[in-house]
Structure 1
Amino acid sequence: MSKRLTADLASGALTEALADIAEDAARVILPYWRNGVVAETKSDDSPVTKADREAEALILERLEARYPGVQTVAEEAVAADGAPAEAAEWFWLIDPLDGTRGFIEGRESYTVNIALVHKGAVVAGVVTAPATATTWRSGAPGAGASRRRFGESWQAIKVRNRPASPMAVMSHSMTDVEAERLASRHGCVQWQGTDSSLKFCLIAEGRFDAYPRTGPTSEWDTAAGQAVLEAAGGRVMAEDGQPLRYGKPRFGNGGFVALGG
């Protein structure tokens, strides 16, 4: 593996670079938002747009230029060509536009996600919300998490101590009955729905306390958000109670819960 990758990971320069790439991808996406973008349907019945594909092309080109030779597992490339047979020791997980359905409907909570995985553990990640011009990132190991508005300085974020009345943030795809059941299972008396990996970031900055998920997701949906949340002091646990891992068969997740303080 390149010395630049490991040196940048150790110094925090890696997620600085990933943030710049994700924000440039956001600038590719924004002209399509609320502008009559046409969606196609992929084989798994999920939608895809030109914005997804163009953002992913930019991300892949920029990653290869800066860190050549690292395996990439990116949503649209996997949809077109299939997933790699197995994960490398180091690999990128990329979702160029998470929350495409909400994006098509004009909602704000869609994101760009880039994460780095080493031996099954997510070690760095960046999440960008184009609609609000906001980026979250993990820093150097042990340096915490931070957030910035485009063009502004980074501000440190962390999870909050669990309050007396914890709040859950849930997927919009869930029914109210299922959301209430899951929220109460994790001690939350209130819940709110939103799209995309933004849920991890809202917990990381101390606005919510739990995000439980039972339905299937892909690893590129969760890796970057998990990196940010863990750096901010939170946890993402699989159904066996262990940290959610990556490089699983077909790069798919089972159930998990993301927790704050």
Structure 2
Amino acid sequence: MNNGAGAEPARILIVLHQETSIPGRVGTMLEKRGFHLDIRRPRFGDPLPYTMAEHAGAVVFGGPMSANDPDAFIKREIDWMAVPLKEDKPLLGICLGGQMLAKQLGARVKAHPKDQVEIGYYPIKATDAGEAMMRWPSRVYQWHREGFELPKGAELLAEGQVFANQAYRYGANAYGLQFHPEVTMRMMMRWTTKASDRLKLPGARNRRNHYAGRLFHDPAVERWLIAFLDHWIGRADQA
């Protein structure tokens, strides 16, 4: 896409799941790369495009709901993911978004067999394929009760101890992440306050661990996110 004088900036479709949700650090970094964020909330009636011709890529974010919920908007979003996949446009699913992508690809999303959760910072380890792609952080921020199976034909990029599948690539341009690289300190404060009841679930870290973990581990996550976005989408003038 040529973004010369007078041209509209390349657009990234941003799919959010709550009225107050924001794209966090991922959104900020994409804007700094010259992209315009086309934010839509299908849960509240926003349509999704029939083609990705007017978008450089799409990011589907997380939310408190499950990819297994019977709500009509969940099914619509999962079905819609066939559009960027068919057109081979960059697609990134984060937490719920990564689980929805896995379901679109025929994999299951399910709870831990011992009802463990990941809420806070947890270790991950890159696979050989992940290491060949880039350097990964040793711990990442998580907020989920379910995980995805690895879809058939997908390549596992990072593994975890509680939920084995933490990141995968399907084809050249589609990625699913279980963790939350987009989270800012403000988002963390809101989540640990408004959803404090989830900090009592089996395996969840206490609030102090969340903040201490961010101090120690977030610089590496931020560096990873910069490198990942370089790899996944680049800059608007390159789209």
**TM-score (structure 1 length as normaliser):** 0.27
Greater strand proportion: 1
**TM-score (structure 2 length as normaliser):** 0.29
Larger RCO: Structure 1 or Structure 2 (Cα < 8 Å, ≥ 6 residues apart)? 2
